[in-house]
């Protein structure tokens, strides 16, 4: 019986793939499987993964014939997985030796639907510990209780799929799959759904995932149109949260987060290609228009001046365009 399935998507990460695979070997166990999903790489990554399938205990190699993005690659892994528990790793990150056995022991001891963990952010040679924004550790709780308050950073603002482990019953309930085709922010609707609909979770102070930042070719480093998928991702968050029985309580948090993310992208607009920057303004303005307007006004009134001013200007532009038409 497979106890733990580890889903690892790869896309053009030849220079980093070996680090990830070595760290998987240092976490291998006879009841673990490592599902290596190549999302149609063209830089030599497939050769590394084909060799790993022969040499890494528990490795299962799956290759996409067309590039589908991280969400789709993770879904392929979920559909392939046989384990009682599932977790994720990105192909340019790595693990501490023996991390997965400790992670598995944590969720088995707690008996909850999912467990969230801290991680180490790696930028060049700098290492920074990033904590789950949830103060209570090692205690099983209702995930809904970790969504609010609206004005503070909470667990839904810590969306990293690889920072945790998940029981198979979440797959059976349709809660673990990602929205196919999302190229960025794919984990935002995912983490909101988990916290709204799963029955139990816990946070543990366990470090073992090393998250590599500043990777050349990463979407966070590229200003092309794929980055605009954050709008589609947050539209989904808003739509699903609005349909929740506790929408009146939860929507202010969802709207505030959406506004903060729009403001962040607008603050970095010079990093985008010119045509994409124009699309960013247009699509962000349309997104603000789609939000509940009274709630949007309340959110802007409570945000800091820099971000609220940026969003108010964009909102006025929408109103002016509407009046002119």
The whole-number mean pLDDT for each consecutive block of 10 residues of the chain, a chain of 325 residues, reads 98 97 98 98 96 97 96 98 98 98 98 98 96 96 97 97 98 97 95 98 97 70 82 98 98 98 96 94 97 97 96 81 46
| Helix/strand number for the chain, H first, E second | 11, 11
Are 146 and 184 in the same domain? yes
Are 188 and 295 in the same domain? no
Q: What is the pLDDT of residue 224?
A: 81
Phi, psi of 229 (to 5 degrees): -65, -15
Q: What is the pLDDT of residue 320?
A: 54
Are 232 and 278 in the same domain? yes
* CA-based nearest residue to 207, from 121, 112, 107, 111: 121
Are 215 and 258 in the same domain? no
Are 18 and 132 in the same domain? yes
Do the beta carbons of residue 117 and residue 203 sit within 8 Å? yes
Q: What does the alpha-carbon distance between residue 213 and residue 199 come to, in Å, rounded to a whole number? A: 32
Are 272 and 140 in the same domain? no
Are 88 and 211 in the same domain? yes
Among candidate residues 168, 196, 220, the one where a domain is terminated = 220
Residue 130, strand partner residues: 119
Are 160 and 90 in the same domain? yes
Handedness of CA 169, 22, 31, 139 (dihedral sign): negative
Are 58 and 197 in the same domain? yes
Among candidate residues 220, 238, 265, the one where a domain is terminated = 220
**296: three-class secondary structure by DSSP:** helix
Are 165 and 209 in the same domain? yes
Six token digits for residue 28: 């291998």
Question: Residue 258 is part of which domain span?
Answer: 222-324
* End-to-end Cα, the chain, rounded Å: 64
Domains: count for the chain? 2
* CA-based nearest residue to 60, from 17, 101, 5: 5
The secondary structure element, H or E, covering residue 34 is: strand 32-38
Q: What is the pLDDT of residue 215?
A: 65
Phi, psi of 138 (to 5 degrees): 70, 20
Are 216 and 262 in the same domain? no
Among candidate residues 220, 252, 273, the one where a domain is terminated = 220
Q: What is the pLDDT of residue 274?
A: 93
Are 232 and 89 in the same domain? no
Structure-token match 């060799």, residue found: 51
Do the beta carbons of residue 307 and residue 263 sit within 8 Å? yes
């Amino acid at each position: 019986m497979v106890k733990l399935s580890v889903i690892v998507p790869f896309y053009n990460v030849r220079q980093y793939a070996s680090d990830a695979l070595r760290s998987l070997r240092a976490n291998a166990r006879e009841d673990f499987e490592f599902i290596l999903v190549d999302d149609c790489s063209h830089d030599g990554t497939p050769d590394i993964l084909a060799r790993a399938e022969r040499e890494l205990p528990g490795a299962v190699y799956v290759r996409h014939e067309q590039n589908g993005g991280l969400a789709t690659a993770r879904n392929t892994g979920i559909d392939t997985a046989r384990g009682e528990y599932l977790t994720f790793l990105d192909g340019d990150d790595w693990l501490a030796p023996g991390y997965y056995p400790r992670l598995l022991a944590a969720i088995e001891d707690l008996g909850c639907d999912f467990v969230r963990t801290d991680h180490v952010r790696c930028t060049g040679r700098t290492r920074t510990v990033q904590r789950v924004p949830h103060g209570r550790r090692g205690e099983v709780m209702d995930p809904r209780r970790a969504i609010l308050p609206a004005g503070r950073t909470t667990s839904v603002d810590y969306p990293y799929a690889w920072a945790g482990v998940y029981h198979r019953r979440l797959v059976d309930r349709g809660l673990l799959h990602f929205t196919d085709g999302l190229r960025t922010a794919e984990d935002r609707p995912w983490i909101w759904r988990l916290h709204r609909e799963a029955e139990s979770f816990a946070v543990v102070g366990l470090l073992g995932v090393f998250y590599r930042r500043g990777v050349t070719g990463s979407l966070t480093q590229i200003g092309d149109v794929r980055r605009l998928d954050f709008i589609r991702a947050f539209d989904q968050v808003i739509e699903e949260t609005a349909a929740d029985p506790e929408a009146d309580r939860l929507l202010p948090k969802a709207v505030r987060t959406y506004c903060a993310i729009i403001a962040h992208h607008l603050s970095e607009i010079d990093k985008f290609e010119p045509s994409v920057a124009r699309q960013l303004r247009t699509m962000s303005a349309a997104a603000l228009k789609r939000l509940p307007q009274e709630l949007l006004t309340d959110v802007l009134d409570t945000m800091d001046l820099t971000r609220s001013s940026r969003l108010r200007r964009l909102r006025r532009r929408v109103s002016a365009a509407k009046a002119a038409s």
